A and B are shown apart, each in its own frame.
Chain A
Amino acid sequence: MNALHGPPAPSRASVVHSREAPAVHIRAILADVPDPEIPAVSVVDLGIVRDVSAERVLITPTYTGCPATHAIEQMIRTALDAGGFGDVAIETTLSPPWSTDWISDAGREKLRAYGIAPPPKGAGASALKNAQAAECPRCGSINTEEVSRFGSTPCKALWRCKACAEPFDRFKCH
């Protein structure tokens, strides 16, 4: 290290502390930022947050035209400000494109508890037909049928349970 460039290099331990602690802290803050359309899950659960460092949060939109994209950025900004991280950039990337495979296991459980059938895992690549029957988030039956390919938000399809007769949302494979 060139001594002309500042004070002596800190010990390795303190380097780790100063570089990683903020990212860990920021990640914890993001884990409490709800998705504006499905507040039961956080932006971290959904896999929207792609990378976190002390300087920058990298996010990706779920759907190209998702109207929540701007709201999500605003909510992250507000949460970071409140947590004392006012000087962190929020950047958006399209590549690689978001996939429902990035929804965490915890996120899937939260969706189910909220009444939304989570998407099957590993199905992101072959989303053309919802070949697998969805499991009713209320009674657990797979005696279900698709009512509409599109639901109340871009990410959901409308299904119906033939066992308990309840309609429910299914998170689309994407």
Chain B
Amino acid sequence: MDSALPPLAAYAARLGDDSLILGQRLGEWCGHAPALEVDLSLSNVALDLIGQATHFLGLAGAIEGAGRDADKLAFHRDVMDFSNCLLVEQPNGDFAQTIARQFLFSNYQALLFEQMAQVKDERFAPIAAKALKEVKYHATLASDWVVRLGDGTDESKTRMVAGLNWMWRFADELFVMDDVDAAAIANGAGVDKAALRAAWDARIDAVLAEATLARPAARRPIVGGRVGRHSEHLGHVLSAMQFLQRAYPGANW
């Protein structure tokens, strides 16, 4: 976590980092997806997420008040200053693994933004309300694919199960609460993420049932992304994403 950021700015940065890193991950599929339609879908979801990141990181910079804008925060922070959850930095793997990640994350984000759209803070709520419409679409897209792959061929089912198993360990972190969350709630900007868990479980279970898939066995959760303890994967994501601004600081179109 970027210790320089005051709590409410850190809260906005977490939201922005989740969207930014997942958007960057999905962008890796551009030109590589199994079909043109899938390529368009993943690129469009990536675009929505990077749009969210622009708003939330811009807000983080504005709250910090030190002259950093969204670009500065995206391209000029080091890996340990990023506060995204570990789920979004996981490798794309095959298409099923990418869909598993999207399925778990977008269903969480939809519940989160439904609540955040109602908070008192007039900076956070409008971003959440705006993004919510798009995130519901992402959740539907991913859920549809979980059903198609899970209730598909033996091969697609095997891959969908493997993808869910890989991603499942990182789901618990989505609902962990800490001091930053508490400060955001106290300021009328935050959401009680722990309280979203039951609704999330219900949504996930309903889709898994339709996909004829069992819920993955409970595992030891892996956490730490919110406080900057990342997997090796994030460094590789950043090296691609930040290269240009690191090599040519301030480069512009």
Interface residues of A (CB under 8 A from B): 61, 63-67, 93-98, 127-129, 147-152, 154, 158, 172, 174
Contact = CB atoms under 8 A, between A and B. Distances in A.
A154 B47 contact: yes
A151 B133 contact: no
B141 A149 contact: yes
A63 B55 CA distance: 12
Interface string B29-69: 00000000110110111111111101100000000000000
Contact of A154 (B23, B44, B52): B44
For the complex, would chain B's binding face be called helix, strand, loop or mixed by DSSP majority? helix
A127 B133 CA distance: 8
B41 A149 contact: yes
A136 B51 CA distance: 31
20 contacts: A61-B130, A64-B48, A64-B130, A64-B134, A65-B51, A66-B47, A95-B126, A97-B132, A98-B130, A127-B136, A129-B140, A147-B37, A149-B137, A149-B141, A150-B41, A150-B45, A150-B141, A152-B40, A154-B44, A172-B137
A67 to B, nearest CB: 7
Interface string B139-151: 0110010000000
Contact of B130 (A95, A150, A154): A95
A97 B113 CA distance: 13
A65 B133 contact: no
B23 to A, nearest CB: 8
List 10 A-B pairs, minimum CB-CB distance, nearest first. A65-B51, A64-B51, A148-B37, A95-B126, A65-B47, A150-B41, A94-B126, A150-B44, A97-B130, A94-B130
B51 A66 contact: yes
A94 B127 contact: yes
A63 B47 contact: yes
Nearest to A152: B40
Given A63-B47, A63-B51, A95-B126, A158 B37 contact: yes
Contacts of B51: 61, 63-66
Given A128-B136, A128-B140, A154-B48, A64 B40 contact: no
Contact of A148 (B23, B40, B52): B40
A5 to B, nearest CB: 34
A96 B126 CA distance: 7
Contacts of A147: 37
Contacts of A93: 126
A64 B136 contact: no
